[in-house]
Amino acid sequence: MAARLSAAGLTPHTTDHADLTYIETELPGLVDVATWREVLAALEEADCFGLVTSANGRRVWAAFGKEAPTTIYAVRGHGLQL
């Protein structure tokens, strides 16, 4: 995801934690349609994501769990069939 955000002209920051990887990037004042599409496509890959708007600007963030995919699906209530 960080590579996709970089390719879209943004500067993502990655932080590794014991149970997840967290990626965030500031958004410029004006974001063109193509950049928004790439940001949204990149966020689709995340386990969870969000947009924070404040007086200091806008920031998107995403988190990727480090658990095995079968565990993640079980916690979310999805039926994973192998």
CA distance readout (Å), 3 to 24, 27, 72, 77, 80: 12, 16, 24, 30, 29
pTM: 0.74
Distance of CA 1 to the CA centre of its chain: 7
Tokens of 59: 């920031």
Tokens of 53: 């708007």
Q: What is the pLDDT along the chain (82 residues), one digit of tens a residue?
A: 899 999 999 999 999 998 889 999 999 888 899 999 999 999 988 989 999 998 889 999 999 988 755 555 555 554 444 4
Tokens of 37: 């599409």
